[in-house]
C-alpha cells in the first residue's frame, strides 16, 4: 500500500520531478506519464469584494501575477579587471513573494496582491486518479519506444529503479517510525514473457526427449540413435545462433517455429542415417573400414540428398504466405517463419555435413580387442558410481548396469548375445522416459511420478505400436491395396471430402442440392453436425492479467469516481486468486490517453495456477508422508483436507523432490472461472459491466480501432444526438443476436454530460463596451482559472493559477455576481450580461474521416467464433432494416470493426498467397521428378494431410471425443479440448503442415523412380514388385517421421502454461494431418502403380497389335 505519512501532493511532486525523469532516461523508454495524487499549484483566489473596494479588475490581477515572476540579465560589468555577469533575480520563491506583488497604485498607495486575493498552495483540477487495492496511490505509466525489445526495456527500467531507490526521500513520523518511499511495479510483463518462454522451453525439451525415445525404439541401434538424436540439440543451437545473427527475438511465436520444425529436423536425420545403416547392412558392405566405409557413407548420403533438399525446399517455400502477411499478423508470425526456415537450413547443413562425418567416426569404432572392451565398460560403470557419490542421483545405476551387461556378454551363449543390445536399449529408454515423466508430469502433480511414468509409456507405446504394426505388415497391406486400388483409393477420397465438409460446412458444400433434399431430416442432421468451422482473427493469449474497463455515468464527478474505484478495487482484491488490483479512473498525463473521467481501467493480476520460480517454471515444495506441505513455522497445510487459505511462497519450504503447490481453489479450473468471479464482484450500482479483456490485447485493439473491445460497431452521423439515438437502437438489437454476450453490449453515452451554458447577450455587452473576447477571458480566469506563469524551484516547477475563490464561483448564483470590467472602468455583474442554461452535451467528441463517430461495443459468448458472431449481427440488422423495424436517419451509417476486420484482411491475403505457394511447391516437385504425373502424386499428400487437420479440429470440438479420465484427470481437460476456430494461428499450422506433408511423398516418389529406373519392369507383376520394393525401403523412416511428429506434439497439446493458447491451435493441424498422412505411404505407391501399370498395358497392347 502507499507509504504512510506522505500526502498525495508530495508523492506526485516526487513522481513528476524525480522518478519520471529518471525512468525516462532508461534505454528503450519513450515516455513516463504520471497519474494519481495532487499536482501542486500556487493558487491566487480573488476576493471580488476586495477587488471592487480597491478599484482593480481581474485583468490587472492577471498582469500583476505574470509580471511578478521574471528573471533577467543585464549583460556584464567589468570591475577591477574582472568580468561579472549581471543577473536580476525575480523568480517567485514563496507565497510571500506573490503576496507582495503590486497590482495597482491608487493615490500613491500600492495595492498588493494579498490585498485583493488569498494566495496558497493547492491541487490542480484532476482528470484522472490511481487506486491500489482501495487506497489512493501515485504512479507512472512507462511506454516503450517503437521497435524496442520489451524485456530489455523492462530490465532497463528495473535497473534504473534500483539505481534511484536508495536516494528516494524518507521522513520520521510522529511515532518515530521512518517512512521511506519505494517504487513498486503494479504491472510488469516480465513474468508473462518468462513464463511463455518457459512453456516453450519445456515443450522443446519434451519434444527432443520424445524424439530420442522414438528414434531409439524404431532404429534399435544405439550408435545410429545417438547419430540421429545429436541432430536435434545441434540444430536447435544452430537456429539460435542464426536468430542472434539476424536479430530475430526469441519470443513465443518464434520459438513455436522451432517446435513445429522438430519433426522435419528428425526426418532429415532419420533419412540420412537410415540410408547409411541400410547400405552398411548390405552383404557386400558388412565389415568395411577406412576409405571403403567412407565411400559407402558418401554414396548413401548422395542417394537421398536430392530428395531431402527438395523436401526441405518445399517446406521453406510453403512458408512464403507467412512472410507475405502484413499488419498485426505479419508482425506476430514473421519471426516464426524465420525460425522455421533457420531450423530447416540448420537441419540440412547437419544432415549433409555433420551426420556423414559423425557416421564415419562412430561406425569406425570397433571393440575387437578384449582389453579395450573391458576398459571401456569398467570405465562406464566407474562413471556411474562416481555420479551416485557426487550427485546422489540413483539413475546413474543405469550406467553401471549397461557396463556390467556388456562385460557379461562374453559369458552368454551365441544365440543369446543379440539380447545384450536389447537390454542396453531398454535401460537407456527407461532413463529417458523417466526424465520425460519428471519434466512433463502430464497427469499433474497430484498423481505420483510412477503413475505419470506409466501414462507416458502407455501413450508412446500405443502410438509406436500402431505405427510399428503398419511397418511390420506394410508389404501385405500394400500388396492388398495394389490389388484393390479403387477400393483403397475410396478411403483417402472420403477423407478429403470429409475434411472439406468440416471446413466449409455440409450445407455450403452441397448447396447445389434441390430444396426438397435440403429439407429432409437426414440433410438437416448432417448440416447440424457439420456447420463449418468458425472463424476468428487470433486465439487470445493468456496474459496472466485481466483488464476490467467499466464506466460510470457521464455526469459522475471526481469524488464519486474516487469512491467507486476504491470500492471496486477492494471487492476485486478480496478474490483469493487475485494477486493485486490497481485501478485508474480518467486519464494519465499523456496525449496517448484521451479517456474521459467516467472510464475506469482496473488491471487485475491473478496468481498462476501453480507457484512458479523467477523464470516461469513450476516450483516444488516439501511435503510429508500424508502429502501435506511443511511450512516454515513448523505447521502443515493439506489442500485436500484443510480449508482453503492463502499460502505465501516464503511460508513454504523449497524441495526439488517435493510437490507442486496449487494456488487456486478447487472450483477454479481455468482463467475464465476467475473472470466470472471478477464480473460477479464488480456489480456496483451505477457501474456498467465490461467485455473480457487483457492488457496487451486491449492496447492492440485500441490502437487498431480506437475501441476498448475486440468487436464493435462504429456509428457515423450528421450530429451527436442522431449518433447516440442510432447507438441506443443498435445496443438493443445486438442483445438479441445469437452468440452475443448481452451483458457486454454498451453504446457510448455521447451527449450524457450535464452542461451549464453561459449565453452572452450581445446587446447588453455592447451597451457597456465589452467585447466577447474580454468577457470570455474574464470567465476563463474567474471560474476555470488561468495558468499565468511557472515557478522555478530547482528541478521543480509549479503553475501559478488565478481565479475567484471557491465560495464566489461554486454555484450559478455566485457565477452571476462575477465582475466584468467595462470600457469606462466600471465593474458589471455577469448576470446583467449573460443567461445561464442547463443542457446536456457530449463528454467526448470523436471523429473519423471527417465524420462524427461513436462506438457500440460487444463481446461474444465463449463457444462462438468472432467472425460468426459479427456475421450473425450483420444478418440480424439487415433483416431489421429490410422489414422497416430499424430505420437509419438520413446521413447516418454504421460499420462493424475490431478483430473481425483483421481476420478478413488476413484471410483475403492468404487466399492469394497460399495458392501461389502451393504452385511453387508443385514446380519444385516437377523440377525434382521431371514429370507432372509423379509431381501430382507427391502433391496428393497435401490434400490428405489438409483433410486430416480439419478432421482433428472437428474432433476437438466434439463432446464425446476423449471423454474419459485417467487417474482422476479428464483427458479433455488435459489436452485442452474445446471448440477450435479457424484463426491465423491455425492457418499457420496448416501452412507448416503443407511442407511436412510433401516430404514423405517426395522421398517415396524418389525411391520409386530409382527402383523403376533400375528394374525397368515390363509386366504388371513386375510393376507391383518394384512398388513393393521401393515402399518397403521407405516405410520405416516414414513411420519414424510420423511417430516423431505425432508424439512430439503431444506435450505441446497438453501444455497449459502461458503461451499454450497460441501453440495448441498451431499444433493441431500438424497433429491431425500427420496422423492421417500415414496413408500417403500407400496412396503414392498405389497411384504410381496405376500409372506404371497403365504404361505396361498400353505397351502390351501395342506389341499385340504389331
- Residue 113: pLDDT band (50, 70, 90) is very high
- Say which range, 39-43, 291-295, 429-433, 753-757, has the weakest mean pLDDT: 429-433
CB 1089 within 8 A of CB 485: yes
Residue 155 scores a pLDDT above 60: yes
Q: What angle (nearest 5°) sits at the alpha carbon of residue 628, between those of residues 624 and 631?
A: 85
CB 551 within 8 A of CB 595: no
Question: Rounded distance, CA 1087 to CA 940, Å?
Answer: 10
Phi, psi of 1099 (to 5 degrees): -65, -40
Question: Rounded distance, CA 674 to CA 245, Å?
Answer: 42
**Which 3 state secondary structure label does DSSP give 848?**
strand
Q: What is the pLDDT of residue 412?
A: 62
CB 282 within 8 A of CB 363: no
Q: What is the pLDDT of residue 381?
A: 67
Question: Rounded distance, CA 715 to CA 1104, Å?
Answer: 79
Question: Rounded distance, CA 382 to CA 377, Å?
Answer: 9
Identify the CA nearest to 834 among candidates 760, 767, 783, 755.
760
Helix (H) / strand (E) containing 846: strand 846-848
Q: What is the pLDDT of residue 417?
A: 57
Question: Rounded distance, CA 804 to CA 781, Å?
Answer: 8
Residue 140 scores a pLDDT above 70: yes
Grid coordinates representing 56 are 482593480
Mean pLDDT within 310-335: 79
Residue 392 scores a pLDDT above 60: no
Q: What is the pLDDT of residue 714?
A: 92
Identify the CA nearest to 610 among candidates 595, 599, 620.
620
Maximum distance among all Cα pairs of the chain, rounded to whole angstroms: 138
Mean pLDDT for the chain? 83
* pLDDT tens digits along 683-693: 888 888 788 88
Identify the CA nearest to 727 among candidates 712, 739, 742.
712
Higher pLDDT, 966 or 576: 576
Percent pLDDT > 90 in the chain is 8
**Which 3 state secondary structure label does DSSP give 788?**
strand
Mean pLDDT within 568-583: 90
For residue 663, what is the DSSP state? Answer: -
Residue 1067 scores a pLDDT above 80: yes
Higher pLDDT, 1009 or 384: 1009
Q: What is the pLDDT of residue 316?
A: 79
Percent pLDDT > 70 in the chain is 92
Residue 383 scores a pLDDT above 70: no
Q: Would you tell me how many other CB atoms lie within 10 Å of the CB of residue 797? A: 11
Instruction: Report the 3 state secondary structure along 182-242.
Output: CCCCCCCCHHHHHHHHHHHHHHHHHHHHHHHHHHHHHHCCHHHHHHHHHHHHHHHHHHHHH
CB 183 within 8 A of CB 19: yes
Q: What is the pLDDT of residue 222?
A: 65
Residue 369 scores a pLDDT above 70: no
Question: Rounded distance, CA 25 to CA 519, Å?
Answer: 70
Mean pLDDT within 723-742: 89
Q: What is the pLDDT of residue 567?
A: 92
Question: Rounded distance, CA 8 to CA 117, Å?
Answer: 26
Residue 948 scores a pLDDT above 80: yes
* pLDDT tens digits along 595-611: 888 889 899 988 888 88
CB 255 within 8 A of CB 616: no
Helix (H) / strand (E) containing 398: helix 397-407
Identify the CA nearest to 367 among candidates 384, 380, 355.
380
Q: What is the pLDDT of residue 394?
A: 55
Grid coordinates representing 950 are 480439419
Q: What is the pLDDT of residue 568?
A: 92
Question: Rounded distance, CA 362 to CA 221, Å?
Answer: 12
Grid coordinates representing 836 are 445561464
* pLDDT tens digits along 195-229: 777 777 777 777 777 777 777 776 666 667 777 77
- Residue 41: pLDDT band (50, 70, 90) is very high
Amino acid at each position: 500500500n502507499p507509504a504512510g505519512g506522505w500526502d498525495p501532493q508530495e508523492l506526485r511532486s516526487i513522481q513528476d520531478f524525480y522518478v519520471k525523469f529518471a525512468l525516462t532516461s532508461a534505454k528503450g523508454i519513450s515516455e513516463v506519464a504520471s497519474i494519481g495524487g495532487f499536482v501542486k499549484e500556487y493558487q491566487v483566489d480573488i476576493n471580488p469584494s476586495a477587488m471592487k473596494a480597491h478599484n482593480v479588475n481581474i485583468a490587472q490581477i492577471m498582469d500583476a501575477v505574470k509580471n511578478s515572476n521574471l528573471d533577467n540579465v543585464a549583460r556584464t560589468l567589468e570591475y577591477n579587471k574582472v568580468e561579472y555577469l549581471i543577473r536580476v533575480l525575480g523568480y517567485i520563491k514563496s507565497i510571500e513573494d506573490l503576496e507582495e506583488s503590486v497590482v495597482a497604485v491608487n493615490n500613491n498607495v500600492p495595492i498588493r496582491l494579498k490585498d485583493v486575493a488569498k494566495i496558497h498552495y493547492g491541487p490542480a483540477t484532476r482528470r484522472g486518479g490511481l487506486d491500489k487495492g482501495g487506497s489512493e496511490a501515485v504512479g507512472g505509466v512507462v511506454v516503450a519506444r517503437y521497435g524496442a525489445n520489451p524485456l530489455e526495456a523492462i530490465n532497463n527500467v528495473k535497473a534504473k529503479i534500483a539505481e534511484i531507490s536508495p536516494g528516494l526521500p524518507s521522513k520520521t513520523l510522529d511515532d518515530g517510525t521512518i517512512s521511506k518511499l519505494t517504487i513498486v511495479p503494479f504491472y510488469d510483463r516480465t513474468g508473462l514473457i518468462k513464463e511463455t518462454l518457459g512453456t516453450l522451453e519445456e515443450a522443446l525439451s519434451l519434444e527432443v526427449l520424445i524424439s530420442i525415445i522414438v528414434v531409439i525404439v524404431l532404429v534399435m541401434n544405439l550408435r545410429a540413435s545417438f547419430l540421429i538424436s545429436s541432430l536435434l540439440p545441434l540444430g536447435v543451437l544452430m537456429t539460435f545462433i542464426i536468430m542472434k545473427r539476424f536479430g530475430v527475438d526469441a519470443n513465443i511465436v518464434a520459438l513455436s517455429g522451432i517446435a513445429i520444425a522438430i519433426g522435419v529436423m528428425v526426418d532429415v536425420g532419420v533419412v540420412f542415417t537410415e540410408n547409411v545403416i541400410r547400405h552398411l547392412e548390405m552383404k557386400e558392405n558388412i565389415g568395411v573400414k577406412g576409405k571403403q566405409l567412407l565411400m559407402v557413407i558418401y554414396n548413401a548420403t548422395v542417394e537421398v540428398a536430392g530428395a531431402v533438399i527438395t523436401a526441405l525446399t518445399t517446406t521453406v517455400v510453403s512458408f512464403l504466405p507467412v512472410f507475405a502477411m502484413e499488419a498485426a499478423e505479419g508482425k506476430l508470425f514473421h519471426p516464426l517463419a524465420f525460425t522455421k526456415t533457420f531450423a530447416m537450413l540448420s537441419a540440412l547443413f547437419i544432415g549433409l555435413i555433420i551426420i556423414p562425418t559423425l557416421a564415419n567416426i562412430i561406425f569406425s569404432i570397433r571393440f575387437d580387442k578384449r582389453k579395450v572392451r573391458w576398459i571401456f565398460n569398467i570405465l562406464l560403470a566407474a562413471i556411474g558410481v562416481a555420479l551416485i557419490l557426487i550427485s546422489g542421483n540413483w539413475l546413474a545405476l543405469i550406467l553401471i548396469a549397461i557396463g556390467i551387461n556388456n562385460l557379461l556378454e562374453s559369458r552368454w551363449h551365441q544365440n543369446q548375445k543379440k539380447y545384450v543390445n536389447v537390454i542396453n536399449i531398454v535401460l537407456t529408454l527407461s532413463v529417458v522416459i523417466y526424465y520425460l515423466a519428471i519434466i512433463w508430469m502430464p497427469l499433474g502433480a497430484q498423481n505420483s511420478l510412477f503413475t505419470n511414468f506409466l501414462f507416458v509409456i502407455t501413450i508412446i507405446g500405443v502410438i509406436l505400436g500402431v505405427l510399428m504394426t503398419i511397418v511390420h505388415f506394410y508389404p501385405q497391406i500394400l500388396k492388398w491395396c495394389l490389388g484393390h486400388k479403387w477400393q483403397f483409393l475410396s478411403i483417402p477420397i472420403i477423407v478429403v471430402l470429409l475434411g472439406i465438409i468440416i471446413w466449409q460446412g455440409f450445407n455450403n458444400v452441397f448447396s447445389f442440392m434441390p430444396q426438397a433434399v435440403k429439407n429432409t431430416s437426414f440433410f438437416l442432421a448432417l448440416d447440424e453436425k457439420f456447420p463449418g468451422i468458425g472463424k476468428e482473427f487470433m486465439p487470445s493469449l493468456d496474459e496472466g492479467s485481466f483488464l476490467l474497463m467499466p464506466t460510470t455515468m457521464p455526469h459522475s464527478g471526481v469524488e464519486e469516481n474516487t469512491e467507486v474505484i476504491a470500492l471496486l478495487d477492494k471487492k476485486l482484491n478480496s478474490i483469493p486468486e487475485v494477486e493485486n488490483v490497481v485501478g485508474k479512473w480518467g486519464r494519465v498525463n499523456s496525449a496517448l490517453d484521451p479517456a474521459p473521467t467516467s472510464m475506469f481501467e482496473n488491471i487485475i493480476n491473478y496468481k498462476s495456477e501453480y507457484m512458479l520460480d523467477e523464470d516461469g517454471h513450476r516450483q516444488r515444495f516439501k511435503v510429508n508422508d500424508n502429502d501435506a506441505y511443511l511450512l516454515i513455522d513448523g505447521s502443515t497445510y493439506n489442500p485436500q483436507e484443510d480449508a482453503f487459505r492463502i499460502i505465501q511462497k516464503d511460508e513454504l519450504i523449497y524441495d526439488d523432490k517435493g510437490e507442486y503447490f496449487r494456488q487456486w481453489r478447487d472450483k477454479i479450473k481455468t482463467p475464465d472461472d476467475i473472470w466470472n468471479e471478477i464480473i460477479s464482484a464488480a456489480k456496483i450500482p451505477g457501474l456498467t459491466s465490461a467485455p473480457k479483456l487483457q492488457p496487451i490485447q486491449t492496447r492492440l485493439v485500441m490502437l487498431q480501432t480506437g475501441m476498448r473491445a475486440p468487436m464493435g460497431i462504429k456509428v457515423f452521423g450528421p450530429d451527436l444526438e442522431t449518433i447516440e439515438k442510432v447507438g441506443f437502437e443498435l445496443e438493443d438489437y445486438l442483445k438479441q443476436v445469437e452468440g452475443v454476450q448481452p451483458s457486454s453490449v454498451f453504446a457510448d453515452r455521447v451527449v450524457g454530460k450535464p452542461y451549464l451554458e453561459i449565453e452572452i447577450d450581445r446587446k447588453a455587452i455592447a451597451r457597456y463596451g465589452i467585447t466577447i473576447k474580454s468577457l470570455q477571458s474574464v470567465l476563463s480566469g474567474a471560474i476555470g482559472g488561468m495558468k499565468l506563469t511557472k515557478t522555478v524551484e530547482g528541478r521543480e516547477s509549479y503553475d501559478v493559477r488565478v481565479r475567484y475563490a471557491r465560495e464566489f464561483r461554486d454555484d450559478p448564483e455566485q457565477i452571476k455576481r462575477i465582475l466584468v470590467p467595462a470600457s469606462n472602468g466600471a465593474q458589471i455583474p455577469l448576470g446583467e450580461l449573460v443567461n445561464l442554461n442547463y443542457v446536456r452535451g457530449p463528454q467526448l467528441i470523436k471523429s473519423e474521416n471527417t465524420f462524427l463517430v461513436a462506438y457500440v461495443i460487444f463481446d461474444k459468448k465463449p463457444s462462438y467464433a468472432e467472425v460468426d458472431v459479427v456475421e450473425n449481427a450483420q444478418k440480424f440488422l439487415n433483416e431489421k432494416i429490410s422489414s422497416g423495424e430499424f430505420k437509419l436517419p438520413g446521413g447516418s451509417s454504421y460499420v462493424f470493426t475490431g478483430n473481425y476486420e483483421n481476420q478478413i484482411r488476413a484471410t483475403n491475403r492468404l487466399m492469394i498467397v497460399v495458392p501461389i505457394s502451393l504452385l511453387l511447391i508443385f514446380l519444385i516437385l516437377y523440377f525434382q521428378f521431371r514429370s507432372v504425373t509423379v509431381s501430382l502424386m507427391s502433391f496428393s499428400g497435401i490434400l490428405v494431410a489438409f483433410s486430416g487437420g480439419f478432421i482433428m479440429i472437428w474432433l476437438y470440438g466434439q463432446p464425446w471425443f476423449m471423454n474419459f479420465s485417467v487417474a482422476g484427470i479428464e483427458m479433455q481437460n488435459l489436452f485442452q479440448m474445446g471448440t477450435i476456430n479457424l484463426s491465423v494461428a491455425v492457418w499457420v499450422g496448416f501452412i507448416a503442415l503443407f511442407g511436412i506433408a510433401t516430404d514423405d511423398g517426395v522421398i517415396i516418389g524418389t525411391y520409386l523412380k530409382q527402383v523403376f529406373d533400375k528394374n525397368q519392369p515390363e509386366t504388371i507383376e513386375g510393376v507391383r514388385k518394384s512398388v513393393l520394393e521401393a515402399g518397403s525401403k521407405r516405410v520405416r523412416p516414414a513411420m519414424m517421421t510420423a511417430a516423431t511428429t505425432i508424439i512430439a506434439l503431444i506435450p505441446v497439446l497438453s501444455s497449459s502454461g502461458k503461451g499454450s493458447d497460441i501453440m495448441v491451435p498451431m499444433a493441431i493441424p500438424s497433429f491431425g494431418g500427420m496422423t492421417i498422412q500415414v496413408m500417403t505411404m500407400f496412396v503414392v505407391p498405389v497411384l504410381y502403380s496405376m500409372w506404371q501399370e497403365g504404361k505396361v498395358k498400353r505397351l502390351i497392347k501395342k506389341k499385340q497389335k504389331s
